[in-house]
Structure 1
Amino acid sequence: MELLKVQGELDWKKLTRNVLIPVIGGSIIGYLANRNTQQQYAELEKPSFSPPGATFPIAWTALYTMMGVANYRVEMKQSAKGYDAAIPLYDVQLGLNFLWSFLFFKWNLRGTALIEMMIMLGAIAMTAYEFNKTDRTAGALMVPYIGWVMFALVLNYSTWKLNK
């Protein structure tokens, strides 16, 4: 519970909003982008290190929750001190995250998705850096996300190469 307190304060409304936006947003985007694409994706040649499909919703729910908590912590600290770059960067990386699913799954633009993911990784790293400047815990909460996206980048590249 201490993880959720910022300067001794817990704002359930802000916390809930900050967690639900990426979790529910990611679920809706996943549904819209992946609708009617399961068969096509199943037929793709995938690298040997590709995890089972059930891994992805579990991993993304955990990552979206952590990034939501990180954003909440930064928002709580920034409301006391004023505006800085962290929140807009967070919004940009989240938008890029949501866009990737359409590029890769819905529109079959795997090479474009790869380039977009590289840009997204840069945006995530900048977000984590800015979060860390405001709140070290928030910065640390972004590290698993960076690791997962680095893995996803290799997976995206390998899948793209195998199916060119």
Structure 2
Amino acid sequence: MGRSWVLPMIVAGFAALGIAMLGGTITDLGPWYQGLAKPDWTPPNYVFPMAWTAIFALAAIAAVRTWVAAPNARAADTVVGLFALNGFLNILWSLMFFRMQRPDWAFAELLLLWLSVAALIVVCRRYSRFAAAALVPYIVWVSIAGALNWSIVELNGPF
């Protein structure tokens, strides 16, 4: 990594850590969540923090790779804005699902989260194939989360 990567990597790392920590504090695996009927294929609880840690690390790397490769300030600002929107949507899902206890609303919001990840892949690919590839696990995981979220709505609704 060249010198031009150091500050952006620090900023992206702290942003990813902040989003992960905020999302983690919103996530409550207490009695309400434990009481929900879940499909048999639900991953064990310990898988979620491991998956999100890897996804946020890859997203931070993708953000920096794309930002550095962006041809101008406008493109770089677009990349930052898309990642910020994605972080907001990620936190909003946790808020709706766990704090508001509305998996139905969370599923609708998750569709927006999925679209934001897809948009990130498309935009990042313009400047860095590596960055786009680094985001593929994110869209796969959000797709799995969406299927799980929908199953919870079907098994437990109406909310």
The correspondence of residues 10-159 of structure 1 with structure 2, limited to 5 A, is: 11-31=5-25, 33-35=26-28, 37-78=29-70, 81-84=72-75, 85-159=78-152
Inter-partner Cα distance in structure 1 for 2:19 and 2:145: 19
| CA-based RMSD | 1.5
Q: Give deviations 1:56-97, integer Å, cap 9, x for gaps.
A: 01100110000011001111123x532123321221111101
The Cα shift of 1:40 comes to 1.3
Q: Please say if residues 100 and 117 of structure 1, whose CA atoms lie closer than 8 Å, have aligned partners that are also in contact.
A: yes
Aligned length: 155
Q: Please say if residues 22 and 91 of structure 2, whose CA atoms lie closer than 8 Å, have aligned partners that are also in contact.
A: no
Q: Please say if residues 62 and 132 of structure 2, whose CA atoms lie closer than 8 Å, have aligned partners that are also in contact.
A: yes
Which amino acid in structure 2 is aligned with residue 136 of structure 1?
A: R
TM-score using structure 1 length: 0.88
Unaligned runs of 5+ in 1: none
Which amino acid in structure 2 is aligned with residue 94 of structure 1?
A: G
Moved over 3 A (4+): none
Which amino acid in structure 1 is aligned with residue 60 of structure 2?
A: G
% same residue: 27
Inter-partner Cα distance in structure 2 for 1:114 and 1:38: 20
The Cα shift of 1:29 comes to 2.5
Inter-partner Cα distance in structure 2 for 1:90 and 1:34: 21
- Relative to structure 1, the CA distance from residue 132 to residue 9 in structure 2 (aligned partners, 3 Å threshold; closer, same or farther) is farther
Unaligned runs of 5+ in 2: none
Q: Give deviations 1:110-164, integer Å, cap 9, x for gaps.
A: 1110010011101110111000101111111110000000010000000111111
TM-score using structure 2 length: 0.90
User: Secondary structure of the residue that 2:74 maps to in structure 1?
Assistant: coil
